[in-house]
Chains A and B, each alone.
Chain A
Amino acid sequence: MNLSITSLSYRYPGATEPALADISCEVGAGECVCFTGDSGCGKSTLLLAIKGALRGGSRVGSIEIPPHAGDGRIPVGIVFQNAESQIVCTTAGEEVAFAPENLCIPREEIAERVALALRAVGLEGCQKRNVDRFSAGQKQRLAIASVLSANPGILLLDEPSSQLDRRSKEELRDTLGWLKREGYIIVLAEHDILPFAGIIDRYFVMERGKIVSVLSMPPAPRAANRSFPARLEHGGAPVLTVRGLHLGYPETGAVLNGVDLTVGEGERVHLLGDNGAGKSTLFRALCGLARPDLGTVELAGIGKPVPERLAGKVGVLFQNPTRQLFAESVQEEVSFTLKREGRPLREIDGLVAEALAHCRIAHLAGRTPLTLSFGEQHRVALASVLAGRPRLLLLDEPFAGLDMAQRGELLEILGELPARFGTSVLIASHDRLPVPGWADRELILKDGRVTDARG
């Protein structure tokens, strides 16, 4: 029996445009399909519709799913984007037992299901492990196991790879490949399709709630076609100098093991590192948020930096920068740092207008940041750290949650910074940049050390 969607349309309550428009498709057992497209194209809404989790709104069309084969199962399992916030319990075993417990399954059967589900995702023997100690990839696989234990026939995954590095994506692909061979119907909603290309049978490309094409090969990434201003000649003093930086934790051992790093004025640098390689720890040490065991940091002319001294001189965007937003308007949000620096009002207005224009969100100046889409919020957070024309901009995993077009636009904005403001840019991410050639230098953080990617 197939998953069959016929002429499905859906409009959220109060929305003027439909989120889904005339969607029709059929997916058979053992098939893996991927709905792809820019943010807001309707792929997550479609997964919620298949799951039957849309509340209110107006819906037409039909979704037929394979009927229940016996009690004690949830026919459609869904794994949401953020594994961290869907893990309810403290240990892996309890987490996987959560669904069958909800279905009132007898104890002995729950134990069997837990063991099978953990084995399916390669986490056998982890029943007693504290989930806090799991890597991002393990958490994602645990989230899948916690759905598999309800014996679904259909598995929906909403952007499962957004938090994962290359190795974790490969592990996830292998897990999904195994599930596919076991006869599961797998439906992915994903921007980053290349890691799963080996297991995806069909690609449904969506735009504005509609399926615009169905492909058997992955669509070409659009971000790669962008151009950037030529790199500057770097003659000035370095804006960042790190020498022999060591930092360790007992639970992970040494994270930074003698990092040496220099970023010149107006330089664009990309630092590549897997999950857990220490990128965030390095950034925290650079900003004075984590005290290194050994080594020195000089940032924007400040030795032993502390956060309060860096405001306005160094811009920092951590993972999910949207959580720093609080103001009632975008204008207010972007002017915050400038006001705290005590700059004159007229200067503030000019700098805010410049930052908004540079980030291409001048039209949002009067809007409330918290009502904007994720991509727009991301841009507001960027403008808020750029307004003071910092000498260095540090970005930790800035592409998480952005679609390919947004990633390309972000790189375009960042690429112009050295020429316009002389700002150096250091991006840390677990993926290669969506636009090859953007960075003046590619570095790799591995085994606690930074090395040049060219060797």
Chain B
Amino acid sequence: MRAAEMNIRRFRTSDYACQFMTHDSPIHRLGPGTKLAAGTALSACAIAVRTPEQLLVLLAVALGCFFLARLTPYDLWRDTRVLVFLGVAVTAAYCALHGASDFWPGVRTSTQIILFYLPGAVFLRTTRTSEVMTGFSRVIPYRISFLLFVSVRFVPFFLRELEEISAAQRLRGAKIRLRDQADPRNWCDLFHCLVVPLMVRALKTAEELSRSAESRGFGECEQRSYAGIAGLRVAAKR
């Protein structure tokens, strides 16, 4: 058992869900606009599919894109594990409400949720900050594109913060585990011990980040140039 666990740990290739991976792959080389459009189309298809055959084809396409980006099964597990647990719960709820005959609709809905989300995970794992900002800034002011991307970029940071805060509060006796939430009397712990400290951290981090960006000239000029990763590579070779 322990040996098996140690083997599993050797396959860990990312630190958190949707972490950007610095590989070179056909998906990495696609422009952010193309990826965003293709991802949106795939997510839309995830909502539209109805039959098992359609679902299988879409699953194959989504997984194909995922592995074409040189991401690993462990990355896939990191990105989807919450949804897998959610899917099991959804399927169980379907069966509990309508009997075994609703097993298939439960499985379909769960898979659709995962397929809806998966293109977004591929996008985040294969797209650099600068690429997204460049892409967004073609259609919206660069200040807003920065705001949008930083919001997404710091999601993993706040997930880590949440984990740290949660660990500290559990050690102080806060009842914030999922299983504790079955008792509504514990819901106030969830708000006071997790949400309040996280909001404080978010505001503080936002202040530090904006101060850092401003001190590096962000917002000083009307326009902004973009080096692009190709440009940086050229200099690195010199």
- Do A97 and B232 have beta carbons less than 8 Å apart? yes
For the complex with contacts A99-B216, A324-B172, 7 further pairs of A-B residues with Cβ separation under 8 Å are A74-B215, A125-B236, A150-B217, A308-B173, A311-B173, A326-B193, A336-B173
Which residues from chain A contact B170 at a C-beta distance below 8 Å?
A: 307-308, 311
Interface status of B178 (Cβ within 8 A of chain A): no
Which residues from chain A contact B227 at a C-beta distance below 8 Å?
A: 93-94, 97, 100-101, 107, 110-111, 114
Instruction: Give chain B's interface residues, CB within 8 Å of chain A.
Output: 2, 5-6, 9-15, 19-22, 128-130, 150, 153, 156-157, 161, 164-165, 167-175, 177, 192-193, 196-197, 200-201, 204-205, 208-209, 211-221, 223-229, 231-236, 238
Which residues from chain B contact A147 at a C-beta distance below 8 Å?
A: 215-216
Closest to A53 in B: B215
16 contacts between A and B (CB under 8 A): A90-B128, A93-B227, A94-B128, A94-B129, A98-B213, A107-B226, A110-B227, A128-B233, A130-B19, A147-B215, A250-B11, A250-B12, A284-B167, A308-B173, A324-B193, A340-B175
Which of A79-87, A195-203, A228-236 is the contact stretch?
A: A79-87
Instruction: Give the docked Cα–Cα distance between A293 and B6 (Å).
Output: 6
- Quote the shortest CB–CB distance from A106 to chain B (angstroms): 7
Interface status of A302 (Cβ within 8 A of chain B): no
Instruction: Give chain A's interface residues, CB within 8 Å of chain B.
Output: 51, 53, 74, 77-78, 80, 82, 84-86, 88-91, 93-94, 97-108, 110-112, 114-115, 125, 127-130, 132-133, 146-147, 150, 246, 248-251, 284, 287, 289, 291, 293-294, 307-308, 310-312, 314-318, 321, 323-327, 336-337, 340-341, 370, 384-385
> Given that A111-B231, A130-B21 are known contacts, is A101 also in contact with B225, CB under 8 Å in the complex?
yes
Closest to A128 in B: B22
Instruction: Give the docked Cα–Cα distance between A188 and B161 (Å).
Output: 29
- Do A127 and B218 have beta carbons less than 8 Å apart? no
- Do B215 and A78 have beta carbons less than 8 Å apart? yes
Instruction: Give the docked Cα–Cα distance between A341 and B233 (Å).
Output: 58
Instruction: Give the docked Cα–Cα distance between A328 and B193 (Å).
Output: 12
In-complex Cβ contact of A88 among B13, B175, B193, B213 (8 A): B213
> Given that A307-B167, A323-B201 are known contacts, is A249 also in contact with B6, CB under 8 Å in the complex?
no
Which residues from chain B contact A99 at a C-beta distance below 8 Å?
A: 216-217
- Do A127 and B233 have beta carbons less than 8 Å apart? yes
Instruction: Give the docked Cα–Cα distance between A133 and B231 (Å).
Output: 23
Which residues from chain B contact A125 at a C-beta distance below 8 Å?
A: 236
In-complex Cβ contact of B171 among A82, A249, A314 (8 A): A314
> Given that A248-B9, A289-B167 are known contacts, is A82 also in contact with B128, CB under 8 Å in the complex?
no
* 7 A-B pairs closest in CB distance: A111-B235, A86-B212, A311-B173, A340-B173, A102-B217, A307-B170, A99-B216
> Given that A93-B232, A114-B235, A307-B167 are known contacts, is A337 also in contact with B172, CB under 8 Å in the complex?
yes
- Do B235 and A337 have beta carbons less than 8 Å apart? no
> Given that A88-B150, A130-B21, A150-B216 are known contacts, is A102 also in contact with B232, CB under 8 Å in the complex?
no
Closest to A326 in B: B196
- Do B236 and A93 have beta carbons less than 8 Å apart? yes
> Given that A103-B221, A132-B19, A314-B171 are known contacts, is A323 also in contact with B165, CB under 8 Å in the complex?
yes
- Do A324 and B229 have beta carbons less than 8 Å apart? no
Which residues from chain A contact B204 at a C-beta distance below 8 Å?
A: 85
Instruction: Give the docked Cα–Cα distance between A190 and B215 (Å).
Output: 20
Q: Chain A CB within 10 Å — which of B10, B172, B213, B223 has the most? A: B172
Which residues from chain B contact A111 at a C-beta distance below 8 Å?
A: 227, 231-232, 234-235
> Given that A248-B9, A287-B171, A323-B197 are known contacts, is A104 also in contact with B128, CB under 8 Å in the complex?
no
- Do B20 and A90 have beta carbons less than 8 Å apart? yes
- Do B197 and A385 have beta carbons less than 8 Å apart? no
- Do A294 and B2 have beta carbons less than 8 Å apart? yes
Q: Chain B CB within 10 Å — which of A91, A102, A323 has the most? A: A102
- Quote the shortest CB–CB distance from B70 to chain A (angstroms): 14
